[in-house]
Structure 1
Amino acid sequence: MTSIANTDSTGPTDPMPDWEKRFRAPRVSLPDWAEDAPERSLFVSNVTGTHELYAWDRATGEQRQVTDRPNGTTDGTLTPDGRTIWWFSDTDGDEFGVWMRQPFGGGPDEPAVPGLEPSYPAGLAIGRDGTAVVGRSTDDDGTTLHVVPAAGGEPVEIYRHRESAGVGDLSHDSSLIAIEHTEHGDAMHSALRVVRTDGTPVAELDDSEGGRRELGLTVLGFAPVDGDARLLVGHQRRGRWEPMIWDTASGDTTDLAIDLPGDVSAEWYPDGSALLVVHSFQARSELWRYELATGGLTRVETPAGSVSSAGARPDGSVEYLWSSAAEAPRVRSTTGAVVLDPPGMKAPDSVPVEDTWVEGPGGTVHALVQRPEGEGPFPTVFEVHGGPTWHDSDAFAAQPAAWIDHGFAVVRVNYRGSTGYGRAWTDALKHRIGLIELEDIEAVREWAVSSGLADPERMVLAGGSWGGYLTLLGLGTQPKAWALGLAAVPVADYVTAYWDEMEALKSMDRTLLGGTPDEVPERFEASSPLTYVDAVRAPVYISAGVNDPRCPIRQVDNYVTRLEDRGHPHEVYRYDAGHGSLVVEERIKQLRLEIDFALRHLPGGPPLTAQPTR
């Protein structure tokens, strides 16, 4: 096993371009810490070339690699006493597996919950007394939740439903369990239930009732006090995400006077007196402290950019992971101290983003633009985000930076369906999925050409996951708009993808499209890239993981077969992993293949500032 503190991961000794350095430079996640032993932490790092879990004893400074698997590991947590690390073990990225555990100081791995068969994970909560609540999802059983008693023994099933659900949290005294569920059939808007550890109900909060359809709730955490039944909850009652406090004993809810314009999330400070607020607005984020007794709101100073994760320490300080499009991620503290600084080379800076607002058919669309050196119009990559319930932000990303190094402008569009712009913008994505997002992307594409940014003859549509899906759909429905398509782990044949994908995504697709392929075949057909494959004009590059449970390989193969039958120019790269890769060299290889494909197939040859790929 490797200690991050003693490893200098500088990559190959021969010169390498900056874009490769950004992938190879060692990175760390924000360290999580044990509730009752905050000197014991767990974090993720790529220092060995593969993303793995590391234990860190802050008192001694000792760091230890916990997991070591060919395709990497990122899903892990510490028990509240800091004695044990739980981590999820799947097979080559297929997300189907079991929880394992290992002593914090090292030792053999063992099954954390003997008796539970492999499944997709559906949440995990571990109590201070040793009680654990494990969520599982399978095609046969739907979602089931199991309580593992603190004293040991067989896990006891306390919940089962065909629709998607998950463990929200376990109360501080391990007496109450919060569950997020979608029993009403809307996988985009969860309801909440609190039960005792034997499964008997305590309280229910469902904003889909009483005519308030399409209002979601999410669990933010129980109060960190024994005997306190208050649950911090995220809600959308005023058109955006905001926190409120739900007293699950009385049923009362308390709104919080947090007057900020964007989406607001929060977590408890360890003493329960205040909330650490994360405010996301127009692709940036910032931190605030909210005093529960007075309602006072105080800014926690962070640089301009994006805070991807944050946590309040027992001493009241705040640690957070920050970056911007121009600067690589850093783990910072409000004390001014360096929390965790990986050794070895540092990721080279990139260029900042510019904000662009374009009027689209469904409202104003926000796009983030990065320009290379020189004068436009530039060859331009529209890098489309996944999700779809996600958004691009002013945060560091190695892939867009690589295109900029090669002389391309990069445009990222927060289309309808994206988060961060209010509930109505996210919920606009229904029934005509794919086509709605592409209308917004087309509006921004027209702006990019008319403004002089983009060369209309050298426009690349690219993305991964949902972004890969939109890429293939866009190539077929907007064939004159794009000179090239680069689709990673895409949905390519929506009907086959539905039948082959993991159960939780079936629930999401039924929500987005209003039913199954048997119930609404016309909607699946209209939103499937396979429907339009014969209209595709641009060369197509596709990469896919053979173990992917989200965008399974069979439906990708169906699309590729149709391209082959046409004799259409395309290349396919299949790799032995799931929905993407946690191996640094594999990610570099995939991007190198994409860049090479673009430079070979774009009309007019490569940009003048292009760097050679190896």
Structure 2
Amino acid sequence: MSAEPAAESGVIIPETPTPSAAILPPEVTARWQARFRAPRVSLPEWARDAPHRCLYSSDVSGVIEQYAWDRTTDAHRQATDRANGTLIGTLSPDGETIWWFADTDGDEFGVWMVQPFAGGDDRVAVPEVGPAYPAGLEIGTRVVAVGRSTDDGSELWLAPAGGTPRVVYRHEDPASVDALTHDEDLLVISHSEHGDPRYPALRVLQASDEAVVAEKWDGEGRGLHALEFVPLPGDRRLLVGHERRGREELLVWDVGTDTETEIVLDLPGDVTAGWYPDGSALLVGHDHAARSELYRYDLATGALQQLDTPHGVVRGATARPDGTVELAWSNAERPPVIRRADGPVVLAAPGEEPPAAYPVEDRWVPGPGGDVHALVVRPAGPAPYATAFLVHGGPEAADDDSYRARRAAYVDAGYAVVHVNYRGSTGYGSVWRDALTGRPGLTELEDVAAVYDALVAEGFVDPSRALLSGGSWGGFLTLLGLGTQPERWAAGIAEVPVADYLAAYEDEMEGLRAYDRALFGGSPEEVRDVYVRSSPITYVDAVRAPVLVVAGANDPRCPIRQIDNYLGELQRLGKPHEVYRFDAGHGSLVIEETIRQVEVALSFALRNVRP
């Protein structure tokens, strides 16, 4: 791995940057690093027909890997062991087999592997399905459905036990395997044959011969998301997410009779759900204004009962066969915990709990597209503060009231932190999420600017000491903001960013190209000026502030060539910049590598924007 920052020659930067540990008191450095090093575990997935057999991910070894857990004996076993970690895994319904996705050093391109739950040799799950980006997986006892995506488009395969795998769907636009009935007779796929993968349509296929059983599409600008079939033999009810009234809601589609029932809930935000195993109720997750709640919805009576979860964010939840609900929870102050809704801890990582962090405060700021929701964190001492605007990626994501070790590290170092849930963020309705269409980047930065101006006027932000930082789409916004709002920012830290959109489009995975075509209104050949208008490299000559760029050598989402194009322009123009390269993909699953990246970012921040 490239562990040291690589400085470009001919620019105004120190040849040997001072590490943050030399600037911060030792106890501060130890505290923020302890939050990253404290082992974590994910919400365990359990096998449908063997619920005592579970699979979870953990970084207890220092790298995120997959772990098998037999609840009957309380035996835990590390199932995968790879230098750059293993993020994706699942179980067969009978709990006999672990499936995990093997890519190369974080490039997300690879094959599904299997191994026995009790341990043993790994083998390629379906050799006939060649390497690709994953596009869904549904595992039955008689058949397996595998989705794959390449530069040629999407292929969806069915592999019957003891039979020859075959392609059941192929198209140049994105598609995925979504759900399989309990009896494995019907397969639901999502597709974007209409040309916009942001708003998929659903198709139900007969597994025996690929005959189309049913179709459902809500039209332009309205997506449908197949969540799961009820886990009962002979039952054809499919839980579906829709957005017919401008936010994520639910319906139950009986694909056998092609009838549907909308689930209308008196909740202000977006909802998603899963089945209780007996099919009598739904476990509903409700996200609104950076927090989440859980409910049990009784299908027979329509009764909605809120479960007793603490104030904060639920990252995942599952209803067990005995009716108990298990969930992953945290808030901005308290680290994640895997617990039952009624209180007891279900699974804990060994070792000490990470240090507590800092509470967030809400701000609602008038913006050009409506009120913008922001979260702020105060450091010690009086305002105005040196402030780090940490903008989220996605763009279809959101910052929330959950535990964030990176946020807390900036506060430990003396910075206030501001998160902006700009237009494009999820959790604030479909109109808000889709408002950046045709003008990505510039739209979001208008909202960031509105929050910046309001907090400067409030006396919270010191306008001479504000830095902009983010990863992925947040890195794109950082570079674009440095060029289009140079008067606001004293420094920028862009991690795995889009930097040159025309080159990024050429090199990124095909699924992202399709997403970009929908977001920008066409390909670069069709609407080149829209890409140029939203590309950070267009504004590189206006950049005033020093910038740090963090880049992954194997990144398929924000490829390295387009980042090098931007760095080359900074070099040519004599703009102060630093570069850190690491040998992985769109981020790292290795904890010490993540700490090195945060160390590089804090060092850069402390040298350029002193708190």
**Are 2:30 and 1:17 equivalent residues in the alignment?**
yes
State the distance in 2 between where 1:193 and 1:371 align: 49
- Cα deviation for residue 91 of structure 1 reads 0.3
- Cα deviation for residue 256 of structure 1 reads 1.3
- Cα deviation for residue 345 of structure 1 reads 1.8
Amino acid at match of 1:87: W
Amino acid at match of 1:138: T
Of 216-225 and 269-278, the range deviating more from structure 2: 216-225
- Cα deviation for residue 264 of structure 1 reads 0.8
Amino acid at match of 2:203: R
State the distance in 2 between where 1:51 and 1:448 align: 38
Partner of 2:343: 336
Partner of 1:6: none
SS in 2 for 1:17: helix
Cα deviation code 1:510-569 (max 9, x no counterpart): 000011111000000000001000110000000010100000000000000000001111
Q: 2:201 aligns with which of 191, 213, 225?
A: 191
Partner of 1:27: 40
State the distance in 1 between where 2:408 and 2:214 align: 48
Verify the 8 A CA contact 2:249 2:264 in the aligned structure 1.
no
SS in 1 for 2:414: coil
- Cα deviation for residue 186 of structure 1 reads 1.0
Cα deviation code 1:20-42 (max 9, x no counterpart): 00000010000000000000000
Verify the 8 A CA contact 2:250 2:264 in the aligned structure 1.
no
Amino acid at match of 1:93: G
SS in 1 for 2:239: strand
- Cα deviation for residue 257 of structure 1 reads 3.0
State the distance in 1 between where 2:56 and 2:85 align: 13
State the distance in 2 between where 1:347 and 1:595 align: 20
State the distance in 1 between where 2:104 and 2:89 align: 16
**Are 2:297 and 1:287 equivalent residues in the alignment?**
no
State the distance in 1 between where 2:164 and 2:73 align: 37
Partner of 2:314: 307
Partner of 1:567: 574
SS in 1 for 2:121: coil
SS in 1 for 2:475: helix
Partner of 1:9: none
Partner of 1:48: 61
After superposition, residues 440-519 of structure 1 pair within 5 angstroms as: 440-519=447-526
Higher relative contact order (CA 8 A, sep 6+): 2
Verify the 8 A CA contact 1:257 1:295 in the aligned structure 2.
no
State the distance in 1 between where 2:458 and 2:353 align: 35
Partner of 1:104: 117
Of 218-227 and 268-277, the range deviating more from structure 2: 218-227
Partner of 2:535: 528
**Are 2:143 and 1:131 equivalent residues in the alignment?**
yes
Q: 1:175 aligns with which of 158, 163, 185?
A: 185
Partner of 1:5: none
Identity of aligned residues (%): 59
State the distance in 1 between where 2:342 and 2:422 align: 38
State the distance in 2 between where 1:371 and 1:223 align: 46
Partner of 1:612: none
Aligned-residue CA RMSD (Å): 0.9
Q: 2:173 aligns with which of 159, 163, 184?
A: 163
Of 459-468 and 179-188, the range deviating more from structure 2: 179-188
- Cα deviation for residue 252 of structure 1 reads 1.3
SS in 2 for 1:303: coil
Partner of 1:3: none
- Cα deviation for residue 243 of structure 1 reads 0.8
- Cα deviation for residue 337 of structure 1 reads 2.3
**Are 2:240 and 1:233 equivalent residues in the alignment?**
yes
Amino acid at match of 1:136: R
Q: 1:435 aligns with which of 429, 437, 442?
A: 442
Amino acid at match of 1:148: A
- Cα deviation for residue 250 of structure 1 reads 1.8
- Cα deviation for residue 465 of structure 1 reads 0.2
SS in 2 for 1:373: coil
State the distance in 2 between where 1:171 and 1:453 align: 54
- Cα deviation for residue 335 of structure 1 reads 4.3
Q: Which runs of 4+ in 1 moved over 4 A?
A: none
Q: 2:331 aligns with which of 324, 332, 335?
A: 324
Amino acid at match of 2:142: G
State the distance in 2 between where 1:158 and 1:483 align: 54
State the distance in 1 between where 2:455 and 2:172 align: 45
Cα deviation code 1:413-471 (max 9, x no counterpart): 00001000011101111111000000000000001111111110110000000000000
Verify the 8 A CA contact 1:125 1:132 in the aligned structure 2.
yes
State the distance in 1 between where 2:280 and 2:357 align: 40
State the distance in 1 between where 2:538 and 2:206 align: 49
State the distance in 2 between where 1:453 and 1:331 align: 35
State the distance in 2 between where 1:429 and 1:185 align: 18
State the distance in 1 between where 2:565 and 2:327 align: 44
Partner of 2:155: 144
Partner of 2:103: 90
TM-score (normalised: structure 2): 0.95
Structure 2 gap segments, 5+ residues each:
1-25
Amino acid at match of 2:154: T
State the distance in 1 between where 2:481 and 2:293 align: 34
State the distance in 2 between where 1:216 and 1:273 align: 26
- Cα deviation for residue 130 of structure 1 reads 3.4
**Are 2:581 and 1:592 equivalent residues in the alignment?**
no
State the distance in 2 between where 1:491 and 1:463 align: 11
Structure 1 gap segments, 5+ residues each:
1-13, 608-614
Partner of 1:537: 544
In the alignment of these two chains, the number of paired residues is 584
Verify the 8 A CA contact 1:311 1:318 in the aligned structure 2.
yes
Q: 1:382 aligns with which of 377, 389, 396?
A: 389
- Cα deviation for residue 229 of structure 1 reads 1.3
Amino acid at match of 1:159: Y
Partner of 1:200: 211
Cα deviation code 1:239-293 (max 9, x no counterpart): 1101101111222110113211110111100000000000111110010000000
Verify the 8 A CA contact 1:387 1:465 in the aligned structure 2.
yes
State the distance in 1 between where 2:345 and 2:485 align: 48
Verify the 8 A CA contact 2:308 2:342 in the aligned structure 1.
no
Amino acid at match of 2:293: E
State the distance in 2 between where 1:564 and 1:257 align: 56
State the distance in 2 between where 1:392 and 1:217 align: 24
State the distance in 2 between where 1:121 and 1:516 align: 23
